[in-house]
């Protein structure tokens, strides 16, 4: 990627968004990601595309490894599609039955945890030094043989994400969460800080590439007939539990709609700019008035 020079003062408010969604399983991350700017292309590794059924403007590529003893292919298939997107964002050229010129506006990777597992499986299959083998019933299971297998996984995932981030599209990744372990925690005596971490924690290193780090959490709300229920809510601002972060002008708790959140930010930023112009104009107005008098 060549060196880029950008004068940020002239950049529109949300030309391109980079969002990392963190949350527990079944808390609404995938459907929330589907509210991004359309068309939304899901690179789906968790084999739960059914959760997106019926959503307009959402297209899914599911990556599944073949059964043993065939070589894992999901990681390589993902790399192939990233290369295709680098050549053209046209969904028709990716193989979807859509009119030509239907260009991707948002890429979603769902989820990073499973993408990492697919990368690690691919690496272990092709390099015996990275694995230990357990055989039972004519079937083999590969287990990482030290940190080299983990490091190869992390390097590959980071490379995939950086290539997606370089595309002229919004990028959204989903990460699972876990309880943060204390520095003196051990497998025999686990200790926790009371805070939230991404799972697995090694993928925390991806967060540095995302200006928007939002937590998605089921939150108690009052529904019809005053019945309590739990619904997904978005937390873009830091809390005690988790270091969320945003560059947008958002509230502490938001409804799960990315396009609406972007519009809210743009409206507030426009109003802020108008207020700044008015504030700068007040001294000139007072001076002109005094001279006239």
A 10 A CB-CB count for 268 gives: 15
- 224 pLDDT higher than 50: yes
Closest by alpha carbon to 32, among 214, 155, 251, 286?
214
Instruction: For residues 149 and 202, give the distance between their C-alpha atoms in angstroms, rounded to a whole number.
Output: 13
Q: For 123, list phi and psi in degrees, rounded to 5.
A: -65, -45
Q: Residue 283 has what pLDDT?
A: 53
Could you tell me which residue, 293 or 123, shows the higher pLDDT?
123
Instruction: For residues 9 and 13, give the distance between their C-alpha atoms in angstroms, rounded to a whole number.
Output: 10
- 1 pLDDT higher than 60: no
Three-state SS at 173: strand
Instruction: For residues 284 and 293, give the distance between their C-alpha atoms in angstroms, rounded to a whole number.
Output: 14
Quick: pLDDT tens for 102-140. Answer: 999 999 999 999 999 999 999 999 999 999 888 887 788
Q: In the 8-state DSSP scheme, what is residue 35?
A: T
4 pLDDT tier (thresholds 50, 70, 90): confident
Count of helices and strands (H, E) across the chain: 6, 10
9 pLDDT tier (thresholds 50, 70, 90): confident
Which ranges of 107-207 does DSSP label H, i.e. alpha helix?
Answer: 112-126, 147-165
Instruction: For residues 54 and 63, give the distance between their C-alpha atoms in angstroms, rounded to a whole number.
Output: 20
* DSSP secondary structure, 30-58, as one string: HHHHTTSSSSEEEEE-SS-GGGGTT-TTE
Lowest mean per-residue pLDDT among 75-79, 197-201, 248-252, 284-288: 284-288
Instruction: For residues 217 and 213, give the distance between their C-alpha atoms in angstroms, rounded to a whole number.
Output: 13
Quick: pLDDT tens for 243-258. Answer: 999 999 999 999 999 9
Instruction: For residues 113 and 147, give the distance between their C-alpha atoms in angstroms, rounded to a whole number.
Output: 17
Mean pLDDT of the chain: 91
Sequence-distant (6+) residues with CB within 8 A of 201 are 178, 180, 181
Quick: pLDDT tens for 26-46. Answer: 999 999 999 999 999 999 999
Class assignment of domain 8-292?
alpha beta
Per-residue tokens: 285: 């107005």
Domain ranges of the chain: 8-292
Q: Residue 95 has what pLDDT?
A: 94
Instruction: For residues 185 and 189, give the distance between their C-alpha atoms in angstroms, rounded to a whole number.
Output: 6
Q: Residue 8 has what pLDDT?
A: 75
A 10 A CB-CB count for 226 gives: 6
Q: Residue 21 has what pLDDT?
A: 98
Per-residue tokens: 16: 């391109």
A 10 A CB-CB count for 172 gives: 28
Q: Which helix (H) or strand (E) holds 282?
A: helix 258-292
């Amino acid at each position: 990627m060549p060196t880029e020079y950008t004068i940020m003062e002239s950049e529109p408010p949300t030309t391109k968004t980079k969002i990392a969604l963190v949350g527990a399983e079944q808390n609404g991350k995938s459907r929330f990601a589907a509210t991004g700017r359309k068309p939304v292309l899901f690179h789906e590794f968790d084999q739960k595309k059914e959760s997106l059924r019926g959503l307009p403007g959402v297209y899914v590529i599911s990556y599944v490894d073949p059964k043993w003893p065939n070589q894992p292919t999901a990681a390589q298939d993902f790399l192939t599609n990233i290369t295709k997107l680098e050549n053209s964002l046209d969904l028709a050229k990716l193989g979807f039955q859509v009119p030509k010129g239907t260009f991707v506006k948002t890429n979603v990777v769902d989820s990073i945890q499973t993408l990492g597992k697919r990368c690690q499986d691919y690496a272990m299959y092709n390099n015996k030094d990275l694995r230990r083998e357990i055989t039972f019933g004519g079937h083999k299971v590969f287990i990482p043989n030290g940190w080299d297998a983990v490091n190869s996984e992390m390097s590959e995932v980071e490379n995939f994400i950086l290539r997606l981030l370089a595309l002229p599209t919004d990028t959204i990744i989903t990460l699972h969460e876990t309880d943060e372990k204390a520095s003196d925690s051990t497998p025999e005596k686990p200790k926790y800080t009371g805070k939230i971490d991404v799972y697995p924690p090694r993928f925390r290193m991806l967060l540095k590439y995302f200006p928007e780090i939002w937590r998605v959490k089921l939150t108690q709300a009052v529904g019809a007939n005053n019945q309590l229920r739990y619904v997904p809510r978005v937390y873009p601002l830091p809390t005690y539990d988790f270091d969320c972060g945003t560059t947008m002008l958002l509230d502490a708790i938001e409804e799960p709609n990315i396009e609406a959140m972007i519009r809210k930010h743009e409206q507030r930023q426009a109003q802020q700019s108008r207020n700044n112009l008015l504030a700068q104009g007040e001294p000139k107005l007072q001076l002109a008035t005094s001279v006239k008098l």
